[in-house]
Structures are given as C-alpha cells and as structure tokens.
C-alpha cells in the first residue's frame, strides 16, 4: 500500500545509480538490486552502445529516470524537442515516475550544465509550476522535483526554500524527490536547521528520497557525491521516513566511484531505517 498518493511505488525499496564502471559487474554477476536510477540525458541519444546497455539492464531490472537538464525553474519556455526525446526514453524504460531538479541552468539557449539555485519568489514558483504541469501532461508520467544543494542565495527571495518547494509542488500538483543530503548541505551553507526544513514540507508528496555523501570545506560544503553518507544525513533520512512513510530510496555516488559491492552495501544501510518505518506515515 502506498505511503502517500505520490508514492505508488513504496515497494521499490533501495536502488542505486546506474554507472558505467559497474556495467561489467552487473552483466557478469547479475546482482539482486531493487532498482536502478538512470540519468536520462545519458540515454537520450539516437543509437549505439548507451541504448544497447540500457536495453540489457531493462531485461533484468526496474529502472527509474532522473534528469539533470530539464531546468524546470528556468524562465525560458519548455523545450518541446527535448521533451520529445525524453518521451521516447520514457516509453523505452517504462519508468513509473520521472524526476528532475527544482532549479534552472540555461538562459537565452545557453546551457551552464549546472543546477543553479532558484530565487524563492512567487513569480518563480508560478513559472516553475506551470512548466512542471506542461511537462507532466506531455510525458504522461508522474513527475517529482528534487531540492538541490546550493551555495548562494538571492536578495530578491520572498520566502524560505522549504516554503518555495511547497509553493511549487502544490501549484503543480506534483511529487517531491526529497534529497536529504542536499538539505544538509544547504543548511550548512545557508545557516538553517535542516529539521525545520523537513518538518515544513508537504510530506504526503514525497515520492522518492535521495541519500549521498558530500565534501566539507572550512567555509562551505560541496555536494560531490563521492563519499559515504554521514550520520547526520542518516538522521535526516530517518526523520523523512517518519514523516513520509516507506519511500523508494536511492544512493547517489557519482565521483571516485568505488566497486559495485561497496556502493550497494552503502545503499542497503537504508533498509535499517525503512524496516523501522510504518508503511503509512504517522
């Protein structure tokens, strides 16, 4: 039974990101993995090895798509050509939901290839929600938006990040991909209490959770996805599950990628918390 109406895949358990250095291990050993998350853009090509590898994975595993370049918060219009390519991939993977970030990253057709922070304004929330609705209608698959790590804030902001996230998802009537590591990173960079963030978002919209490691410097934290998950982030994860109920969870590890077994072992630590959680949130 789903923990909430945006979380129809409670039984998905714990997944990991599909990464090239692990291909050989996956195809040879065929490890049991609840599901793989793919970066959509890595497979939005017209042919060749990427699609061959994806098809081999799809024969044996469940795959969920996660995007990095839809830029739902950009003031520019939705790129229909991009959506058409994405829809072709959605049909191929049969992803049960699709996620991308609550951010922007392009202006005047020029791409930064980064996940840039939003100004937390009503105008931005309105524009973003409209684009999410349009995207969701076109792709015909539920969308969840992910909170990003950020290193800068705007003078022009009219609300907190969690208020902005709430404003967007309520207006768009979409799900949340809650990245508890990103909340931790941003809470350090912007001096807020991460639990206040968690306690003030609409938990009933959490469709998926991301966990990851990061790199701490003296004056800031960078979201590098190249370390194990630290204890304070596990604590945030436990609280998120308390609020949202059992939720599909994914460990991100994108740089200095260790062996498949190490990554999978780190991800499966999440099961400890999931098993302690009631299906339906309190």
Residues that bind other proteins (CB under 8 A): 17, 19-21, 39, 41-42, 44-52, 68-69, 74-76, 79, 82, 101, 104, 106-116, 119, 121-124, 126-127, 148-149, 151-156, 158, 189-191, 215, 219-220, 222-226, 252, 254-255, 257
Rg of the chain on CA atoms, in Å: 18
Shorter beta-carbon distance to other proteins: residue 4 or 182: 182
Closest contact distance (angstroms) between CB of 162 and other proteins is: 17
Shorter beta-carbon distance to other proteins: residue 107 or 280: 107
Shorter beta-carbon distance to other proteins: residue 96 or 119: 119
Provide the 10 A C-beta neighbour count for residue 35.
Answer: 20
Shorter beta-carbon distance to other proteins: residue 148 or 281: 148
Token pair of 223 as six digits: 């979201």
Query: Exposed e or buried b for every residue in 210-221, given b needs 16+ CB within 10 A?
Result: bbbbbeeeeeeb
Shorter beta-carbon distance to other proteins: residue 104 or 184: 104
Closest contact distance (angstroms) between CB of 120 and other proteins is: 10
Pairwise CA distance, residues 68 & 75, whole Å: 17
CA 50 to mean position of chain CA atoms: 21
Closest contact distance (angstroms) between CB of 239 and other proteins is: 23
Check: CB of residue 228 under 8 Å from CB of residue 27.
no
Helix axis angle, 122-139 relative to 161-172, nearest 10°? 40
Closest contact distance (angstroms) between CB of 10 and other proteins is: 26
Cα–Cα distances (Å) from 74 to 16, 69, 98, 101, 133, in that order, read: 28, 10, 18, 11, 14
Output the CA torsion sign for 25, 268, 192, 168: positive
Shorter beta-carbon distance to other proteins: residue 182 or 277: 182
- Which has the closest alpha carbon to 186: 147, 224, 212? 147
Closest contact distance (angstroms) between CB of 44 and other proteins is: 7
Closest contact distance (angstroms) between CB of 62 and other proteins is: 20
């Amino acid at each position: 039974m789903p923990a909430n109406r945006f979380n129809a895949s409670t039984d998905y358990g714990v997944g990991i990101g599909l990464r090239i250095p692990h291909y050989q291990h996956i195809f040879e050993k065929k490890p049991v993995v609840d599901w793989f998350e793919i970066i959509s853009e890595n497979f939005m090509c017209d042919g060749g090895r990427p699609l061959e590898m994806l098809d081999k994975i799809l024969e044996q595993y469940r795959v969920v798509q996660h995007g990095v370049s839809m830029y739902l918060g950009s003031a520019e219009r939705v790129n229909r050509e991009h959506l058409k390519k994405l829809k072709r991939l959605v049909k191929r993977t049969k992803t049960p939901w699709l996620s991308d970030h609550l951010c922007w990253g392009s202006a005047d057709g020029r791409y930064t290839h980064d996940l840039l922070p939003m100004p937390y304004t009503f105008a931005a929330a309105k524009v973003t929600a409209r684009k999410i609705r349009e995207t969701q209608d076109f792709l015909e698959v539920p969308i969840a938006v992910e909170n990003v790590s950020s290193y800068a804030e705007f003078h022009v902001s009219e609300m907190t990040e969690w208020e902005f996230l709430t404003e967007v998802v309520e207006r768009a009537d979409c799900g949340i991909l809650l990245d508890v590591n990103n909340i931790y990173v941003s809470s350090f960079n912007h001096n807020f209490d991460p639990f206040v963030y968690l306690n003030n978002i609409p938990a009933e919209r959490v469709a998926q959770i991301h966990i990851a490691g990061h790199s701490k410097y003296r004056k800031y934290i960078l979201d590098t996805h190249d370390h194990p998950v630290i204890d304070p982030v596990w604590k945030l994860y436990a609280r998120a599950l308390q609020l949202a109920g059992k939720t599909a969870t994914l460990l991100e590890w994108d740089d200095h990628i260790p062996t498949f077994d190490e990554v999978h072992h780190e991800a499966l630590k999440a099961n400890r918390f999931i098993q302690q959680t009631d299906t339906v949130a309190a």
